[in-house]
Amino acid sequence: MLKKLKLRRSHALIFGLIIIIGVVIWLWPPVKTEPQWPKTFGYGKTATQQEIAKLDIDVRPDGKGLPAGSGNVPNGAIIYANKCAACHAADGKEIKGVKLPGPPLVIGDGKTKTIGNYWPYATTLFDYVRRAMPYNAPGSLTNDEVYSLCAWLLNQNKITTASQVMNAHTLPQVKMPAQKLFIVDNRKGGPEVK
């Protein structure tokens, strides 16, 4: 009888040890290993400095990044008619009852946000037009063509005069009417939305 009792105790002890070892293994934190990435995936190629420079064309609100060149309103009118009017209408204004392929660019009768009543910096106009327009051939305009389009669009929005020439010096000096409506985001940390 005593021998049977000792045997049951040893079985219970072994069973208990197995349970404890199992729980410890189950709770043991996994070993974190860095993923082993291959040196290359076999796609693409390393960009050259020339290729990077071709894409590094951003323009800041203060004009930093504007290239050499210049443009005027008469040339801008011709370029606009040939390369922009098909999407933005002949005068860049919203046409009532007509859905344009592109947004209106000149203040009309409605409350649509345009360059003239919404854009805070004139230099953004240059950056956007050079980078993204015309729609069917983005990046194809010369710097002089972009300056001329800026001159024409700013004049049509009654922000500049018809004789004003746009270049890297004059464009950043254009005071956009909507600039006062924007607040500089100077938050340090904290939530994304106030």
DSSP H or E stretch at residue 123: helix 122-132
CB-based contact 71:149 (threshold 8 Å): yes
CB-based contact 52:45 (threshold 8 Å): no
Taking only the tens place, the pLDDT of each residue in 164-187 is: 999 999 999 999 999 999 988 777
Please give the CATH superfamily to which domain 73-181 belongs.
Cytochrome c-like domain (1.10.760.10)
Token pair, residue 112, equals 């649509």
Rounded distance, CA 70 to CA 148, Å?
Answer: 7
Taking only the tens place, the pLDDT of each residue in 54-107 is: 889 999 999 999 999 999 999 999 999 999 999 999 999 988 888 889 999 999
CA atoms within 13 A on the CB side of 132: 7
Pick 53 or 124 by higher pLDDT: 124
For the chain, domain boundaries: 73-181
Q: Does residue 151 register a pLDDT over 80?
A: yes
